[in-house]
Amino acid sequence: MALLLSKSRKLICLKPKIGFLSSVYHHHTLISPNLRTPFRILGLNQPHFASFRFESTKVQTQLNSMHSIHNDSQVLDFPGGEVKFTSHLNFIPETREERVHCYRVLDDYGYPITSDFAQIEKEVALKIFTDMVTLQTMDTIFYEAQRQGRISFYLTTVGEEAINIASAAALKTDDFIFPQYRESGVLLWRGFTIQEFANQLFGNKHDYGKGRQMPIHYGSNKHNYITVASTVATQLPHAVGAAYALKMDAKNACTIVYFGDGGSSTGDFHAALNFAAVLDAPVIFFCRNNGFAISTPVSDQFRSDGVVTKGQAYGIRSIRVDGNDALAVFTAVHEARKMAVTEHKPILVEALTYRAGHHSTSDDSTKYRPAKEIDWWRRERDPVSRFRKWIEREGWLNSQVESELCSNIRKQVLQAIQVAEKQEKPPIKDVFTDVYDVSPANLQEQEISIRETIRKHPQDYPTDVPL
Ligand SMILES: Cc1ncc(C[n+]2csc(CCOP(=O)(O)OP(=O)(O)O)c2C)c(N)n1
């Protein structure tokens, strides 16, 4: 088949091999991941091409050269870039000799081991600490509320407070957040109130999701926080598309997408990384490698050196950080954001941590890992106390201020639960709205049916749901 190529807007006419090309009607733009310059293909009026034949073009020359090369000194001028030939039959080993190092700033005792980190002002450091404590307190009290049967489900961020808060602190408010579900601290950092969290958990009439989602499926337009979707890793391609849109609109912003090690075992992860790389999308892939996908340990999930090494396979700049070190997380995301926004590059951050709580209230993790291991991480690797030691030494916090702060936060969370619990639920009609512009016949029938059923069996329906 013959076609016309134009590179850098200069037309190169290919001699038709089969002489049926007489006119050109449509322009198609093909952005090749392998070539720096986009090639504009001027095609036939038929919408589909079965195959291409290159003639008198650079590509054809490259393809021809593949056949003529036969010793070590020559290179293969491949469309994806030059490749040196070798006569050594070498397979790339499946692992590197040494695992990728993990960037940290604070040691286990809160002492800086380097001066190579982003400077944080006192106010920001205190907000990081306050929000980490708030997150821990919310987790403790909301978890207990679920155990008391007051809410149906909960999921904590225990052990991942630094990942949540310090990564959020390094972003700008115009950046869009695509969470998995263990990142409520990012929303907290952005100003979602404890009352708003409680309203969602209780699914009352003030919940922005109108009570239609399980607890912990937070979302906020105001805070550029895309609503949590439990389907693991679906947020990854979404974040890439949104990042590409930000770039097209010349916005000074990026997206960040959080996911667990389990999320990296899905097809969506690989599709997202590849798209992001070839589209030069300003997206930060933030992997919370906490060792487990529910009961599946990372050793049963991949044979690679964690997740960080997968970035390079897709042509993505990557870093591994200590997820329990707030200063390391802050610095890595701060730098990642700069590169994503100014260079229009995707960046992969793998934060090593440990899920120090159960997967959710539907899980008992002592069934598949030793309780002693959990205790050890909670005691010895707690990211909040490590950061506290650092700010104490900086002279920004003392024990009296800390204890007032803790008791104040506790009161606020308890108060928010009491308020949320007393609120009415959203009205029954909300079950049937917001998907279709005009309600289809089957939904109308279902609404009539449920109202009739409630009329017949009122004792089986909650009294706080307005009809
Ligand atoms: C597509 C899909 N598959 C399976 C599940 C069930 N599931 C819910 S959470 C989860 C584990 C995810 O683990 P990870 O991504 O490591 O995140 P973590 O919970 O450790 O933070 C699984 C398998 C799901 N929600 N969606």
Nearest atom within ligand 1 for CA of residue 266:
1
Q: What is the pLDDT of residue 35?
A: 38
Ligand 1 atom 19 nearest Cα: 293
Question: Ligand 1 mean position to 294 CA, how many Å?
Answer: 7
- Above 50 in pLDDT, residue 166? yes
- The answer, yes or no, to whether any atom of ligand 1 lies below 6 A from the CB of 290, is yes
pLDDT in tens, 269-325: 999 999 999 999 999 999 999 999 999 999 999 999 999 999 999 999 999 999 999
- When mean pLDDT is compared across 9-18, 287-296, 376-385, the lowest value belongs to 9-18
Say how far apart CA 46 and CA 405 lie, in whole Å. Answer: 69
Question: Ligand 1 mean position to 177 CA, how many Å?
Answer: 18
| pLDDT-derived band at 73, boundaries 50, 70, 90 | confident
From 294, 295, 302, give the residue whose CB has the most ligand 1 atoms within 8 Å, as the site to mutate: 294
Ligand 1 atom 8 nearest Cα: 232
Residue with more model confidence, 94 or 43 = 94
Q: Which residues are catalytic?
A: 144, 230, 359-360
Question: Ligand 1 mean position to 64 CA, how many Å?
Answer: 48
pLDDT in tens, 356-375: 999 999 999 999 999 999 99
- The answer, yes or no, to whether any atom of ligand 1 lies below 6 A from the CB of 355, is yes
- Above 90 in pLDDT, residue 119? yes
- Above 70 in pLDDT, residue 114? yes
Q: What is the pLDDT of residue 52?
A: 44
- The answer, yes or no, to whether any atom of ligand 1 lies below 6 A from the CB of 2, is no
Nearest atom within ligand 1 for CA of residue 230:
25
Question: Ligand 1 mean position to 150 CA, how many Å?
Answer: 25
- The answer, yes or no, to whether any atom of ligand 1 lies below 6 A from the CB of 182, is yes
> What is the rounded average pLDDT of the residues 87-115?
96
Question: Ligand 1 mean position to 255 CA, how many Å?
Answer: 21
Ligand 1 atom 23 nearest Cα: 293
Nearest atom within ligand 1 for CA of residue 263:
15
Question: Ligand 1 mean position to 258 CA, how many Å?
Answer: 12
Ligand 1 atom 20 nearest Cα: 293
> What is the rounded average pLDDT of the residues 326-347?
98
- The answer, yes or no, to whether any atom of ligand 1 lies below 6 A from the CB of 425, is no
- The answer, yes or no, to whether any atom of ligand 1 lies below 6 A from the CB of 293, is yes
Nearest atom within ligand 1 for CA of residue 293:
13
Nearest atom within ligand 1 for CA of residue 289:
16
Nearest atom within ligand 1 for CA of residue 181:
21
Question: Ligand 1 mean position to 425 CA, how many Å?
Answer: 29
- Above 80 in pLDDT, residue 150? yes
pLDDT in tens, 171-192: 999 999 999 999 999 999 999 9
- Above 60 in pLDDT, residue 65? no
Residue with more model confidence, 354 or 49 = 354
> What is the rounded average pLDDT of the residues 82-86?
94
Q: What is the pLDDT of residue 41?
A: 34
